[in-house]
Structure 1
């Protein structure tokens, strides 16, 4: 209720005192205050609220209970009548729980500053009231951090808790609920399950001491009731399905997104020694419908047609000689290991050239050499040597196709390769038809050692070693194109010629910050995904909101299997043209150390670029490996995804091609 004149202000104060008194005595006149929209009950020394007359305040949208001595609010204080409160201020009280919000269906903003609330109460309030858009705590909006913790909570509920129930408690509860007339055994069983749930949560640092949270125990109780109610009421037939959860039955009716097409060994044809050959990376040719895939590993670069599952062409270097060692006479050692240098990374670019675009593939090797290839013209037209380097990752500049960016050891280098692009154009003009096989153009006129136009060195500020792991350009605008740099010690950004570290939110506790890969999720929402070695989540963050304060603005997280070997993830945005509400949906594929891969499907409603209620569908796919004699299943090193195919590469020379159903 708003007021302007002194008389109205006095009347408002009197109303507040009267309402406060009537709340405690439960004698509020039913015909009063039907037009009040804003009600201020602050500084009235209120200690507790047992009930509240929402039924006589039908238009109340803002309620201020701040600066009181509130120690408790009855959890059913609004149960008797629906309220329409959108803004609630309970700051500067002595409240320990937020369970009393459970019947607030319209609340959008809540101020909880200066109370006795635990961290668990704060983020779980978003689950209790999904309409909340702002949580004010200590005079700042903390909904992002709270939303991140809630996502982690929901993922544990959907994966570990449901699995624990179906495997260890479902059958016991079903049997005892029909035999235990007094319910003592059932109560003990559910108490045990409750305790087991709490232990699972408290293994995570974000959910420590959750057994002390009234709101957490309330929601856990709701989850247990939900699981119990999911049991079939009447067992008409005793079949296998009656002993499985409804979630499992639903899963059995879901067809996999991908079906295996073929397993290839093209980087090494012998089965005798597969452990020394790893297919490091794969990538689909951009913006074409022929589904051409390039792979690199060992001393070979292979081009595969996924429609036919056959190798169309390959490029091979008989010996990738290291440039990090001096070249000279050397006594041959019979026990010397064979050449251990290999092709390590690759990336495509589409260059506009005259009437049709050119697709160029850049491939880097651990000996510091970079090769430029054209599949259409079957030529290797560029060979660049970076002495004393080992190429870990490559990318092309987002706005300048003549600039190739290299990640090597702790340095990022920008190379101008316009002379090689011109060389390819000259070759195309002279040829009327493609060569039958790969040719190498005479390079006497070209120097393969070219200088770097820009070099950036990264360090931790101490003696620890840092390595570049991945590179990714993102165009925020025409003149603002930052470069994200993944390293073994965190995520950096190069913007305005100065490398800066992007820190993780304080609410996130990571084992380490070894960034495995950086992938674009959605350009409109500036959403970027990163996966971290040894961390059990894939983090998706808004780059635009991250840059101002140099802290990752985490929007959502996806469950991620623990791995000991770094894996490059694949992300593909999916269309939702029939949706009534703006949505963003994408698939994320990540490999495992144990012969399997995970497919994460995420669907999020968007309102004013704000993501609401993300939905997750996470599936684990076991791979039936053909003719693998090793006891230990191979590890997935990379995943590539487009609208029709999924390709996985492994550390035992296999290329696994899957087709989307």
Structure 2
């Protein structure tokens, strides 16, 4: 777990201001390998302000960039899918409630689909179905999830028939989405806790009345005064194993979804209690919205904190299906502190050093080899760490 900081980039600046320390970079996602979707390429997509960057982590080069013509746009979420012809497409959305589909090789958006939302609402979570390349789940700040069919974009112009198949509500603001293909349960981290739905093909309007499921996540023994049920990050690691992070709790919970819900076709219950198999000790912070990053092939789970540090956990040897009465407490395998960063651009414009204020790591991504970790921050940084 020895990683070196190799490339720290400021590539989402408004008006190309090389001293912009205010634009937040919200999300980073590694590109799936079209030849093996269980692996990733060396390319990571990041979003901040009104731009999307495609970065080669081996060189630190921004190989492509998409900038929305709408200066008021602020991208919050990204999701990759691989078309049947092996072409990867990136979906993104944010403050302007428009779903963009981007062909990275041409740095253009070949489709922009506006959602008819009320003012000040936002697209906050996007997720492609792992087994259906054309199905996109879109979560918005009013608690709605839209199931979209992006069609089959075909080169060279990538024209496609985009449709919204169904819509249902979490009855709470949505921050993250994850889908378990073992149980066909779509999970949503929300302002009032963890929600879910049993979603099955063909995802058409007949499924629009799908029942809302409630998951009761345990309260940690954190010293913080936890008076919120907010779940800001949820990830499916593998085969029904889920990682969930709750705000104001110094813990990340690992639990097994299939044993939690049982047989959804037979049960009439819509409320379930989460029984963690493992509790990962994390930062005792009162800041929100620091999203988990993990890749099961790398055996690594990461989460940043509000001091610019990365908390790393080796999950390769964890027994996710153990039946012990009490969960296993897991300490971080390593904590990577924020390095000393020399910022001549900010110094020339007489701005304060980066570390004067809280450095919040908004999201972390891990490549399938476990060699690279990418972190994005609230002070307009894309941080690439390489395993020593």
Considering the TM-score relative to the shorter chain, is it more than 0.5? yes
Shift of 1:427: 1.7
1:572 paired with 2:318, answer: no
Aligned to 2:149: 416
Whole-angstrom distance in 2 between the partners of 1:457 and 1:290 = 34
Whole-angstrom distance in 2 between the partners of 1:540 and 1:605 = 10
Aligned to 2:232: 516
Whole-angstrom distance in 1 between the partners of 2:276 and 2:56 = 38
Whole-angstrom distance in 1 between the partners of 2:98 and 2:27 = 16
Residue 304 of structure 2 contacts residue 363 of structure 2 at CA under 8 Å; is this kept in 1?
yes
Aligned to 1:560: 282
Residue 603 of structure 1 contacts residue 615 of structure 1 at CA under 8 Å; is this kept in 2?
no
Q: Aligned to 1:542, which of 218, 232, 256?
A: 256
Q: Aligned to 2:17, which of 270, 279, 286?
A: 270
Give the count of matched residue pairs.
341
Looking at secondary structure, tell me which structure has more helix per residue.
1
Aligned to 2:49: 298
Aligned to 1:503: 216
Aligned to 1:658: 385
Shift of 1:613: 6.6
CA pair 589-654 structure 1, distance change in 2 beyond 3 A? same
Shift of 1:366: 1.0
Aligned to 1:162: none
Q: Give CA-to-partner distance per residue, 1:152-204, whole Å, 9 cap, x none.
A: xxxxxxxxxxxxxxxxxxxxxxxxxxxxxxxxxxxxxxxxxxxxxxxxxxxxx
Q: Give CA-to-partner distance per residue, 1:309-342, whole Å, 9 cap, x none.
A: 100010111324xxxxxxxxxxxxxxxxxx4x30
Aligned to 1:481: 184
Whole-angstrom distance in 1 between the partners of 2:332 and 2:98 = 42
Aligned to 1:471: 177
1:397 paired with 2:129, answer: yes
Q: Give CA-to-partner distance per residue, 1:433-454, whole Å, 9 cap, x none.
A: xxxxxxxx7x8xx89xx65321
TM-score, normalising length from structure 2? 0.80
CA pair 506-299 structure 1, distance change in 2 beyond 3 A? closer
CA pair 505-416 structure 1, distance change in 2 beyond 3 A? same
CA pair 617-652 structure 1, distance change in 2 beyond 3 A? closer
Aligned to 1:365: 94
Looking at secondary structure, tell me which structure has more strand per residue.
2
CA pair 290-485 structure 1, distance change in 2 beyond 3 A? closer
Aligned to 2:76: 344
CA pair 290-619 structure 1, distance change in 2 beyond 3 A? closer
Whole-angstrom distance in 2 between the partners of 1:507 and 1:379 = 45
RMSD over aligned Cα atoms: 2.6
Residue 567 of structure 1 contacts residue 638 of structure 1 at CA under 8 Å; is this kept in 2?
yes
Bigger radius of gyration among the two: 1
Residue 290 of structure 1 contacts residue 307 of structure 1 at CA under 8 Å; is this kept in 2?
no
Shift of 1:378: 4.3
CA pair 565-485 structure 1, distance change in 2 beyond 3 A? closer
Q: Give CA-to-partner distance per residue, 1:266-303, whole Å, 9 cap, x none.
A: 1114244421x111101110126640011111011111
Gaps (5+ residues) in structure 1?
A: 1-255, 321-338, 429-440, 460-465, 576-585
Aligned to 1:551: 273
1:260 paired with 2:11, answer: no
Residue 605 of structure 1 contacts residue 613 of structure 1 at CA under 8 Å; is this kept in 2?
no
Whole-angstrom distance in 1 between the partners of 2:106 and 2:90 = 12
Whole-angstrom distance in 2 between the partners of 1:504 and 1:608 = 18
Residue 220 of structure 2 contacts residue 251 of structure 2 at CA under 8 Å; is this kept in 1?
no
Per chain length, whose mean CA-contact separation is higher, i.e. which structure has more relative contact order (CA < 8 Å, sep 6+)? Answer: 2
Aligned to 1:490: 193
Gaps (5+ residues) in structure 2?
A: 34-38, 200-209, 263-270, 347-352
| 1:427 match: secondary structure | coil
Shift of 1:458: 2.5
Write the mapping of 1:49-64 to structure 2, written as runs, cut at 5 A.
none
TM-score, normalising length from structure 1? 0.48
Whole-angstrom distance in 1 between the partners of 2:311 and 2:320 = 29
Aligned to 1:620: 335
